[in-house]
């Protein structure tokens, strides 16, 4: 029975180790974002995706992983959030396309005007080989891994104090745009006068007449209650806007295989929820604004082609100066391939 003391000792040590693991502090993942911190309707798709991801990884890890969500730019502006994630001060972030672009100019190709006809095309392109290539160069340039190319607020549209049907209607019109050289080039090519008004001052700016029109996503427009001072929308769908979800790569690699797997699975949930919530929120916005008498115009296919003919190339010219033609060609080819696949799937479904 000499072995009994050794057995009891081993059991005691095991019990201590298990108790220590159970009491170990969770690994905290601090995530910054510009959007709200919960799920609301209408709401930001990426906010909803973040909540779902948090619930998943915390639950599936048994509390070993914990996500802290810091919403509403509480950790600084978009650029500051990205820099904090790069430096490892925080571990995760999602941001608008145009906030990421200064760090990774190639990301700008996803916002080429009139590139995508609908969200489904964008989702498939960014979930496919092109999206992986873009994620690879983002990691190389920033030290941040793209976990998902999620949609935040969808397509940009045009809103005005008068109905705008074609680019000709923009001649001499003062259009508020963000500090985006590509959008500036696009609207100036249409004869508009571009003006810059901060987002915080956009309501009073439109109300006072500092601008006659603006471009933004429908959810952002409704969130600011801009339909009260800008009564018309032209659903141009001219620029796709996403919220890439990124994580500090050094932190990610420091995790166990199981924890990395949970984060990747949670990120896929983020993408699916963000994409779906973005569309649902847009529909909800349309319903609520139309009930109040807001007018929306949907360009015909011929009118949309005219918008594309006038507005797309000036934007591409701006991108080419920073990235070269190659990335423009890559995403255009990816879009054509996705359209072929979708057409083939539709034909196969019809044949059944």
Contact 248, 91 (CB under 8 A): yes
The mean-pLDDT minimum among 19-23, 222-226, 273-277 falls in 19-23
CA distance 25 to 236: 50
Tell me whether residue 99 is in a domain. Answer: yes
Q: In angstroms, rounded to a whole number, what is the distance separating the alpha carbons of residues 199 and 157? A: 16
149 strand-pairing partners: 244
Q: How confident is the model at residue 8 (pLDDT cuts 50, 70, 90)?
A: very low
In a domain, 260, yes or no: yes
On the question of pLDDT at 346 being above 50, the answer is: yes
Cα–Cα distance for residue pair 323/320, rounded to 1 Å:
5
Dist CA 275 CA 52 (whole Å): 13
| pLDDT per residue as tens digits for the range 181-213 | 888 999 999 999 999 898 889 999 999 999 999
Strand pairing class (213-217; 232-248): unpaired
Residue 82 has pLDDT above 60, yes or no: yes
Contact predicate 281/41, CB 8 Å: yes
Q: Could you give the percent of the chain with pLDDT greater than 90?
A: 81
Asked whether residue 338 is assigned to any structural domain, the reply reads: no
Q: In this structure, is residue 58 part of a structural domain?
A: yes
pLDDT for 20-43, tens place per residue? 444 689 999 999 999 999 999 988
DSSP annotation of 133: H
pLDDT of residue 18: 45
Selected residue with higher pLDDT from 53 and 19:
53
Residue 69 has pLDDT above 80, yes or no: yes
Residue 69 lies in a domain: yes
Q: Which domain holds residue 113?
A: 25-321
Question: Would you say residue 34 lies in a domain?
Answer: yes
Identity of the highest mean pLDDT range in 54-58, 149-153, 175-179:
54-58
- Residue 225's pLDDT is 93
Supply the mean pLDDT for the chain: 91
CATH of the domain at 96: 3.40.190.170
Number of domains in the chain: 1
pLDDT reading at 15 higher than 80: no
343: in domain: no
The answer as to whether 279 is a domain residue is: yes
Quote the pTM value.
0.87
> Quick one: pLDDT at residue 5?
53
Count of beta carbons in the 10 Å neighbourhood of residue 102: 13
Q: Per-residue pLDDT averaged across 289-293, rounded?
A: 90
């Amino acid at each position: 029975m000499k072995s009994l003391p050794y057995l009891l000792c081993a059991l005691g040590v095991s019990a201590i180790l298990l108790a220590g693991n159970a009491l170990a502090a969770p690994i905290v993942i601090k995530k910054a974002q510009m959007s709200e911190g919960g799920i609301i309707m209408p709401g930001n798709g990426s906010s909803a995706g973040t909540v779902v991801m948090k619930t998943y990884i915390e639950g599936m890890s048994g509390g070993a992983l914990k996500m802290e969500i810091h919403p509403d730019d509480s950790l600084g502006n978009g650029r500051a959030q990205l820099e904090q994630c790069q430096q490892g001060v925080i571990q995760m972030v999602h941001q608008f396309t145009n906030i990421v672009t200064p760090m990774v100019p190639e990301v700008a190709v996803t916002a080429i005007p009139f590139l995508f006809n609908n969200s489904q095309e964008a989702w498939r392109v960014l979930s496919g080989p092109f999206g992986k290539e873009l994620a690879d160069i983002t990691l190389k340039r920033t030290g941040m891994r793209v976990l998902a190319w999620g949609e935040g607020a969808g397509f940009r549209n045009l809103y005005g104090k008068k109905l705008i049907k074609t680019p000709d209607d923009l001649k001499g019109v003062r259009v508020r745009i963000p500090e985006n050289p590509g959008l500036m080039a696009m609207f100036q090519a249409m004869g508009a006068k571009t003006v810059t008004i901060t987002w915080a001052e956009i309501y009073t700016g439109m109300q006072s007449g500092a601008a006659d029109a603006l471009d933004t996503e429908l959810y952002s427009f409704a969130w600011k209650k801009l339909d009260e001072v800008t009564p018309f929308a032209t659903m141009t769908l001219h620029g796709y806007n996403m919220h890439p979800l990124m994580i500090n790569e050094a932190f990610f690699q420091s995790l166990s295989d199981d924890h990395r797997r949970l984060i990747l699975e949670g990120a896929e949930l983020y993408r699916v929820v963000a994409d779906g919530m973005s569309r649902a929120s847009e529909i909800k916005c349309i319903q609520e604004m139309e009930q109040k008498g807001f007018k929306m115009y949907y360009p015909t296919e011929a009118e949309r082609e005219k918008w594309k003919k006038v507005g797309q190339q000036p934007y591409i010219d701006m991108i080419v100066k920073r990235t070269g033609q190659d990335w423009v060609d890559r995403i255009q080819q990816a879009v054509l391939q996705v359209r072929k696949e979708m057409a083939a799937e539709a034909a196969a479904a019809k044949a059944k």
